[in-house]
Structures are given as structure tokens and as C-alpha cells.
Structure 1
Amino acid sequence: MLETLEGRSLLTFLAVLEEGNFSRAAEKLGYVQSTVTSQIQLLEQSCNKKLFHRLPRGVKPTEAGEQFARYARKFVQLGYSLEEALENLDHPRGTLRLGSLESFLVTRMSNFMHSFFTEYTEIHLLLETGFQADIVEQVQSHVLDFGIVPMDPKKEELIFEPLIEEEMIVVASKNLAHLIENEGWENTSGIQMIGFGSRCVYHTEGLKLLSEMGLPPGIRSTGFASTELVRQVVTCGLGVALVPKISVAQELAEGSVISLPLPRQVTFVHGIVRHKKHVLNTPSKVFYRALIEYFSNRTSIERI
């Protein structure tokens, strides 16, 4: 039976069921009545059951016809869903959920976001900002489709795809930098570590680095909610910060902040992380491929 069923005949059957009349169903479908009659007869032959009682003023489904109708509707709906899914490959639409550090979004993602969502106008983004631990936890629990984090979380159930290596520097205002250079860390009182708070990986690495640079233990640290606030506070001379070099490129060019000499190079490899068992929808797959390609091109340009 399954080999002889086709979507066109099922649509005809449902039209006859709805209209209660072969001629009205034919008019609705744009067929001649003989075509409708022929398709219903073929269905009845396939089922080996009579699907309609022929009445003087129309038709009425038999018990077999009512049973057949329930499955015909499911079959047709599945066909429409398949059409939509295949069309979605060319015109993706839907929602994707992404988590990232605020500083990475500001410095690295704005151009990509603009071009991507200009092209894919029917893809909608639910964006969460937070620290690495929070983002990883949300990816693990399937709350987020992806996370962008500054280091590989090294979790068995997660896949980490590197995007870009981020050079980190310690910056201070011009006056504070000269004071540190002339007096040394040990003789410079009241220096604060400026950053995003103790839960931020930049903060943890920054404290280790400042200790290596000679800053006495017990440094006071202050956390702020945004990259812009960190830049402003450092520029005002209230402390030093470990930040991505790109995030203070303008301030370095203007001379309002100075990069302090470091005992070693500090880098973070930012990457996109996803759960191995999380099923991605079409918008998420398109976003993932586009993001990988974008950063692959960016890395090639920066190397040149």
C-alpha cells in the first residue's frame, strides 16, 4: 500500500473530505472532476477499502475513510514540514542562543554580527554575556547553543573550536606608568587591579602577572561591569588592568594609557564551545559555519 500512496492523492482525499463533494473538491484544487474521481478510486484500490459513501448530493466518509483521514493529515503535515526544512537550508530562520564575554563581543564580534544579521534577516539571536564558568555551565545544560570563551574548558562532553589568539597587556595611565617606572612597584602605594571581578579569568591571570612583576601581595582589586568602564577608570589613573590589546588600541595610539613591560607574553585562545550531544537547528549551523570562516579569514589577514 505504501508504495502506491502519493502526496497529490492524499491532498485530493482531504479536499473531498472537507468539501463533501467531488465537483467542489475539483474546483478547489483546479482539477477536472474525473481526475478527482480517478485519484480517489486509486486510493481505495491501494487500501482495498471503500473510503467514501457516494450519496445523491455528495459523499460521506466511511469508517475506513475516517481512519484513513487521521493518517492522511499526519502524512501531509509531515510533507509540509519537510518542505519547510529544505527551504530553510537556503533561507534559514529561527533562533540561536549564544553566550560570550562582553569584552570579546565589543572588540571582535561587531563587524561579524552586522554582516551576518544583515544577510540572514530571519535568524534571531538570544545573547547572554557572562564569565567563562557561567557560559560553560549554560552550554553543558543546553541553555545555550554556543559559548565563546577565552580558554578551552577541557570538558569531556564539550567541543572547543579555537577562533583567535588574543594578546593581553597590562596598561596604566601615563602618570601612573611613569610613577611605577621611577619608584618601582614596591614603593607605589594604593595601586588597584582594575577588571571585571574575581570570577573573570583575566583578573586571575592579571594578579599572577602583577606578582611576577614585583607588586607586593594584598593588592586591592575593583571589578566593573563593562569594558568601557575599565578603560575609563584606568585612563583616570586609578589602577592597572590586564586587557586584550585590541580593546585599548585607541587609548594606546592617543597616549592616554601605556602598556607596561611584562616578564612574559600573555595570550588567551578564544574559541567557540558547544555540547557534543546538542542538536543544532539550521540557524545555529549557519551561524557556526559563518563564524569559523570569519575568524579563519581574520587570522590570515592579521598574519599578513
Structure 2
Amino acid sequence: MIESLEGRYFLAFIALLEEKSFSRAADRLGYVQSTVTTHIQQLEKISGQKLFHRYPRGIELTEAGKIFSKYAYQYVHLSQSLKESMNELNQPSGTIRIRTQESFFLTRMLPFVQEYTRNSPSVNLRIEQGSHQDILKGVIDYELDFGIVPQNPNRHDILFYPVLEETIVFAASEDISRKVRNEGVQILNDELFISSGTSCLYHTSAVDVLKDAGIMVKDALELSSLEMIKQYVSCGKGFALVPKIAINNELKTGTLKILPFHSKMSFSHGLIVHKNRELSFTAKSFQSELLSFFS
């Protein structure tokens, strides 16, 4: 099987996986659509497994395809590393794929990205957003070079490099904040709780803190955008869980207030990478600069 595999088949597989369409995959690779179709058919013939389900709305990986994808990403990564080594790079180049939470990117990482892209113009920095589990899965499956997560996953196959401590707070409008000061936090039992979703570690910790204060979340709203959360809460629509740094401007203008809870919520964000991933010259340089920036 291995001796029959060709690099272009792996590239076609990854393009189809990410684009979800034969035509878009062909456009991305500069092929005609029939070429991508042929490459995928060759892969399925060589592996003896169906790798994609074809539907009118697009494609999805089969179970065999999910297994194959891990090796396909490793191939692409190793090809890039080999290319860089052979060229004896004096300056980082190529692609770095990293996934982080939206709130961390907007409040902490954006200044680093601006500086890094200015100093390393030949690097294609592909940054994605995702939940803690999305990020961890991407690193485990070799889909990503790096991830940034809110706490150490404590896995034997993952290396964790602490970046910074993040304080999380409950925020609300002046009106709701005043009610809490006058009547106590129990009035939050009747208010809408807004977070970025139950899959977020912030949300889990928040529910525990609320429970300890005698507050049961009866009505919750999930919003993926940090800006949407802030705007929604500013209108007096419930209270939200956000990184403290994310509402500095709103605290200065009085648009939002921090609700008084005795329990402090903080998370040690860190950079994660698969223990068995062979980092390219560019990836090593990126890791070093990111950790240096935040230190």
C-alpha cells in the first residue's frame, strides 16, 4: 500500500477535506475537478476503504477517512519541514496553523500576530478559533502545529507551555449591578446567563461559582462572539462571563460593571503541541517568539 501512495494524493485529500467540495478543492490546487476525483479514487483503491461520503450538499469523512486524515496531515507537515531543511532557510517561511479561543485572540494575541507578521512576512499564519476540545483535538490529530488552551490538558502526548494567567469575571449592566448591590446576588436567579457555550471551560467554572452562591442557571444563552456578548449584556439583557481584560474599556465608561463574587476565577493559558510532532525551523521560531513575547 505505502509504495503506491503519492504526495499529490495526500494534497488532494487535504484540499477536499478542508474545502468540502471537489470543485473548490480543484480550484485551490490549480487542477480540473476530474483530477481531484481521480486522486481520491486512487487513494480509496490503494487503501481498500471508502474515505468520503458523497452527498448533494457536500462531502463528509467516513470512519476510515478520519483515520487517514491524521496521516495525511502528518505527510503535509513532514513535506514542508523537509522542504525548509533542504533550502537551508535563513528566514522563516511556509505555513503555521494554530487554533485558539476567540476571546484570547482578540484580547491577548492580536498584538503578537501584528508584530510577528511584520517581522516574518514569508510566513503564512493561519489562525482559527475553537473551543478547548476543538483545539485539543486539532493538535492530537496532527491537524494543527499549535493550539492555545485555557488550562493544561495533562495528557502524556501533549506538551504544555504556560503563557499567562487570565482572570475571568461576571459582568452586567449598571442596572443589574445596582440590583445586585442592593438586593444581593440571588436576584441573578431571574436573569439570563450568557457565555460562549457549555463546551467552554469558562462556562463550567462559572456554573460552579454560581451554584456555591446559591444561584441556579435557569435560562442561558450561548453566543460565540465576544463582541456580541458584550453588546447584549450592555443592553441590560442578563449577565455574562468574560475575561476581565476584554471589558476594560466598558469598565472605564461605566457601560459594564463587574459583579461581586468572592470566588476568583483564573486560568493558566498555554501553548500546546503534540509530543511526537517534529517541528520545522519555522515552527520552532514561531514557538520561541510567542513564548518570549508573553514572558
Q: Does structure 1 residue 264 correspond to structure 2 residue 263?
A: yes
Aligned residues of 1:206 and 1:241 also touching (Cα < 8 A): no
1:288 corresponding residue in structure 2: 287
Structure 1, residues 62-106: CA drift from partner, whole Å, max 9, x if none?
Answer: xxxxxxxxxxxxxxxxxx9688532x1x21110011010000000
1:228 corresponding residue in structure 2: 227
2:151 corresponding residue in structure 1: 151
Between the aligned partners of 1:115 and 1:158, the Cα distance in structure 2 is 27
Aligned residues of 1:212 and 1:263 also touching (Cα < 8 A): no
Distance 1:189 1:152, change over 3 A: closer
Between the aligned partners of 1:222 and 1:82, the Cα distance in structure 2 is 46
SS in 2 for 1:274: strand
1:117 corresponding residue in structure 2: 117
Quote the offset at 1:254 in angstroms.
0.7
Aligned residues of 2:207 and 2:217 also touching (Cα < 8 A): no
2:243 corresponding residue in structure 1: 244
Counterpart code for 1:254: T
TM-score, normalised with respect to structure 2: 0.69
Structure 1, residues 218-255: CA drift from partner, whole Å, max 9, x if none?
Answer: 42110112110111111111111121110000001111
Quote the offset at 1:190 in angstroms.
3.1
Between the aligned partners of 2:282 and 2:237, the Cα distance in structure 1 is 44
Which of residues 85, 88, 100 in structure 1 aligns to 2:87? Answer: 85
Counterpart code for 2:97: R
> How many residues of Structure 1 are paired with residues of Structure 2 in the alignment?
214
Counterpart code for 1:214: G
Quote the offset at 1:214 in angstroms.
2.9
Distance 1:221 1:84, change over 3 A: same
Between the aligned partners of 1:218 and 1:109, the Cα distance in structure 2 is 31
Aligned residues of 2:175 and 2:236 also touching (Cα < 8 A): yes
Q: 1:61-80 residue pairs with structure 2 within 5 A? A: none
Aligned residues of 1:179 and 1:188 also touching (Cα < 8 A): no
Counterpart code for 1:249: N
- Structure 1 alignment gaps of length 5 or more: 1-79, 297-304
Between the aligned partners of 2:83 and 2:133, the Cα distance in structure 1 is 38
Counterpart code for 1:182: N
Between the aligned partners of 2:277 and 2:100, the Cα distance in structure 1 is 18
Quote the offset at 1:206 in angstroms.
1.2
Between the aligned partners of 2:230 and 2:263, the Cα distance in structure 1 is 23
Bigger radius of gyration: 1
Distance 1:183 1:159, change over 3 A: same
- Structure 2 alignment gaps of length 5 or more: 1-81
Between the aligned partners of 1:258 and 1:82, the Cα distance in structure 2 is 50
Name segments (4+ residues, structure 1) moved above 6 Å: 80-83
Q: 1:94-109 residue pairs with structure 2 within 5 A? A: 94-109=94-109
Identity %: 33
Quote the offset at 1:207 in angstroms.
1.3
Between the aligned partners of 1:189 and 1:263, the Cα distance in structure 2 is 17
Aligned residues of 1:213 and 1:263 also touching (Cα < 8 A): no
Q: Does structure 1 residue 161 correspond to structure 2 residue 161?
A: yes
1:129 corresponding residue in structure 2: 129
TM-score, normalised with respect to structure 1: 0.67
Between the aligned partners of 2:185 and 2:97, the Cα distance in structure 1 is 44
Distance 1:158 1:109, change over 3 A: same
Aligned residues of 2:250 and 2:256 also touching (Cα < 8 A): yes
